Structure 1
Amino acid sequence: LGLGRIRLAIGGSMGGQQALEWAVEEPDRFDQLCVLATNAFHSPWGIAFNEAQRMALESGGREQGLETARAIAMLSYRNYGIFGRSQSEGNAGKIDGYRASSYQRYQGEKLRRRFDPDSYRVLSKAMDSHHLGRGRGSAEAALASIRARTLVVGIRSDILFPVEEQEFLARHIP
């Protein structure tokens, strides 16, 4: 892109993985870095979530598979409390057509209209293969090379990128 100095790089989730990679690859280019809900390497838990989504892509037709993959992913973006607040039913006699069910289907349909299943698969594989330590000795060594003033933000309710992963980043980035 022909960019010289970058004052601030901000990224969350996969964007945080990318921002960390750039800050390690070119430590003198960045003044500040802000990463949210991300990690130095993808965990077995995160890989398992992504594999479940890829299995959904493979099991149904392209469109249905993508909708199901999104429904699986939504369970990592949302949590018990959020679903309880936004999708609760007021009718104790209801036995079908739940808000949570229609919400999951709606989110899947919405993604299907704007996203390609093959791109979804490739992006999930890229997240799985993310490891700052690859070719650099260790993740700790890679993080120690970051020179940017860095803010690491964790989200207590995040089950895909638990706070322990941000604590690891904060401990090893100077």
Structure 2
Amino acid sequence: LLDVPAGRYSPHKDRPLIIAGISCTTCQKKPFAGNRYACLVCHNYDLCEECHTGKRFSKHHLPYHPMQQIMLKEAYAAQNPPPESIFRCPYCGDGELSASGLRDHCQELHQNCPGIRVRCSICGVCRVPYKNFTLLKSSLLDHLRDYHGLKGTEEAQNSG
């Protein structure tokens, strides 16, 4: 995972880890403890673990939209070994995909979805600066190839 900007996460030995700088869209809690859940279809829609588990959503969000769990960096790193298949497809909601698995999945099933704007689950999990974790202007497949360097085996052979 990428390094987290200072002050964004506040570890405390006697309290749960806190997510600072992001508020829960439903309950407006800021900061909040535990995991964050980001909608991969709505712009700037995030839930705290309590609202996500309790299935509490705002009226501006559709409950069938895929939500990506974004674990606290420390909780992710504490898993031994850290899981590799943690990404969710923003188009259909399939989960437990690796980065290359997400690319292959989108190549096979969602290649013809260029007009549907979504958020990249890899950007959310890897904590790119929050202002950049927005709805993509290009297709997710193009973003995976160009931004994350996830070229298919055929593309990698042609460029190398």
Q: What interval of TM-score do these two structures reach, taking the shorter chain for normalisation?
A: under 0.3
- Report the TM-score when normalising by structure 2: 0.24
- Report the TM-score when normalising by structure 1: 0.23
More helix by share: 1
